[in-house]
C-alpha cells in the first residue's frame, strides 16, 4: 500500500536506454534528427566526445533546458551512463518525452571503436 510513497523520485518514470552502437546508428542515418547531448563537465567533454555532441553539463541542464529541442529525439551521454540517466529523468520531469540514455557512456563508445573528436 505504501510502496508507491517509498519509491525514490528518480525511479518514478522509466528511462529509455540504448547501447552505444544503437546510438551511433541513429545519429549516423542521413535522415536522423536525433541530437546527442553530452552531460559531462566541459573539461571531460574536451578530453574527447562523440561527433555532433553538444555539451550541456548535468549541473546546468535545468537552467539550459531551453537549448534542448522538444521536437527531436534527445540522446544523452556521459562517462558511464549514470549522469546521463539522471539527465534523462530530469528532462522527463521538465516535460520532454523523447529522451534516451546511452548506456555505458563515452567509455563504452571508445571501447567499441566509435569515432571521438
Instruction: Using alpha carbons, select from 34, 18, 3, 14 the residue that is nearest to residue 100.
Output: 18
| Rounded CA Rg of the chain | 14
Taking residue 38's Cβ as centre, other Cβ atoms within 10 Å add up to: 28
Of 23, 75, 76, 78, the catalytic one is 78
DSSP state of 60: G
51 classed as catalytic: no
Residues linked to residue 101 through DSSP beta bridges, in sequence order: 17, 76
- Checking DSSP bridges between strand 74-77 and strand 99-102, what pairing results, if any? parallel
Q: CB-based contacts of 29: which residues, under 8 Å, 6+ apart? A: none
The residues carrying an active-site annotation are 78
Amino acid at each position: 500500500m505504501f510502496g508507491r510513497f517509498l519509491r525514490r523520485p528518480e525511479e518514478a518514470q522509466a528511462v529509455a536506454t540504448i547501447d552505444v552502437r544503437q546510438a551511433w546508428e541513429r545519429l549516423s542515418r542521413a535522415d536522423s534528427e536525433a541530437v546527442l547531448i553530452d552531460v559531462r563537465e566541459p573539461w571531460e567533454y574536451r578530453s574527447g566526445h562523440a561527433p555532433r555532441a553538444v555539451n550541456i553539463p548535468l549541473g546546468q541542464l535545468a537552467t539550459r533546458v531551453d537549448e534542448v529541442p522538444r521536437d527531436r529525439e534527445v540522446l544523452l551521454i556521459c562517462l558511464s551512463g549514470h549522469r546521463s540517466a539522471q539527465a534523462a529523468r530530469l528532462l522527463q520531469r521538465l516535460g520532454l518525452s523523447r529522451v534516451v540514455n546511452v548506456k555505458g557512456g563515452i567509455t563504452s563508445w571508445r571501447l567499441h571503436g566509435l569515432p571521438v573528436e
